[in-house]
Structure 1
């Protein structure tokens, strides 16, 4: 019976890595049943006691894994399916490259700081001086230590949605820890019970109407990250309706828990987050692209105002005015479409990005009366009124834009 070379090489890598970790005083547990991208777990020992602190290993062996290098780094490339699995793993994951001829294992952690995206996929740089040995042991132990937030969740916002017939709250909640689905359900139950007795009101009229009254309807939106909250990409939303409320509002379609809370799970939440991250720009890139559009917009509006003043004072005639404004329309339309196709702003620039989009849209509105469609739609008097209105709006939005820009610096 033949024994494939690739299989023997893989076994040598696992066995060699196991020997190294056990020589370091660790517990090595191979995961041989299914190949989901994790070959072994390593548990660290302190004072001859198992600590419960573990890391997960993907082990590769053979000369082919050492062929691609960049300076003092081995370049490791893998498939996207494994990367997504590792990044969502409950344990910290490290890639280990075992070189049998040297009886040496090299390692690198898999996380957002070490993974580099490429056009074809991704890569991981594994330094040649990063060997699995006693010097690396303390750092490997640090990878296994989780820093846990003292709070399970953060209330991002509480909205008073009450009206004359019902006291209603909507809460947006950021989860601060890793949760199982059962854990999330318990958080939902606890939050719902707390929100029933909240006394937050948007104005005095609602407070006078509903003070010391238990809520009738509660909606909760749970998020895994602030970015997801900004994108309204919740992991689940819930609805609780008091049995005292009649007539009852339309009920959410989802799973019923605890008899009267309905939970709608967003199974695509993590995939949407992953896709959004692919298009998110770093701060410096976003600001560079934005200012390359914002500065020309300012310059063009200044020119538009000069042309309007010249037209109103009689320095230029109607034909010249219309020709210049039509030229501005084509320039602004080009800038406007570029502004809407910049990519996603980082979280700290989201308010600035929104304000820049508002500024670009108002500027586009300013010249729309001079587009082919605008010339057919509005007469001379209507165009004049629209231009005056949008110029006022432009200067208001420009002040807001400058304010948001100062906030992030």
Structure 2
């Protein structure tokens, strides 16, 4: 006798759950029938305030508790034979895992994951910001598709910055910077990132370069208040040596032209009180790596050429090649140029 399998029931419940949340949001859920399914279960026609925004999203849905790890609170998605199909799909492709145990669903950008990783299985955290429901369609999915800042209040953005997931954490920082640039909490979070976490995104340093300002910055948002700049400079000077070392770690001496990460770092270093003395102290520290010594030598020569010349003999003994090149350029050109 023909039976309706439990797997089919679970799959249908999952699809109906996603359809319900999409329609509660006011968007359209267009199911693709199984005989036409090549790796996409549905198309979502996104609306905003019941108005079409002329954007669609392709969706692959997995339903079942087996796709969820309760211990790590994470989901997984096997790529299987769909890698090429998803990566070349003309629409954004998101994966959604529906978990009957929780009666909740969580989403991930499949195309983005495939293009940035080379894994056979995609694993992603299950948290409030990627839970699939009508609110997150508006707050996260639409902004993600349109490449704009999520529509969060400051407490929600701060919550994202507490995530151990790097992409979620950086999304929180981006939201704070773009929506709450004059909040001290924004800059406290950015400086905490600088001090505690490895800098995996140059945007963190780019944001900090707004404080002293850098001529290569393009910015069109709310202007920074004097009180905000004062607060950030005070925070940077509370732990100046750690700030300097962490910034020096990100200088690439092969790329030092205008608009480079090095130029932004030099701008931030200029905010540190007594930075020439502190850079010299780092150069003369015997326990420091040669890479940091070279970067500190370069930074000192750019920021204070006279102080560099005055202490050249000390510096030369620890960074001979770099120091000599910088010394010759200062004598010949009068300064160190970082222009293109």
TM over 0.5: no
Computing the radius of gyration from Cα coordinates, the structure with the larger value is: 1
The TM-score with structure 2 as length reference comes to 0.38
Higher relative helix content: 2
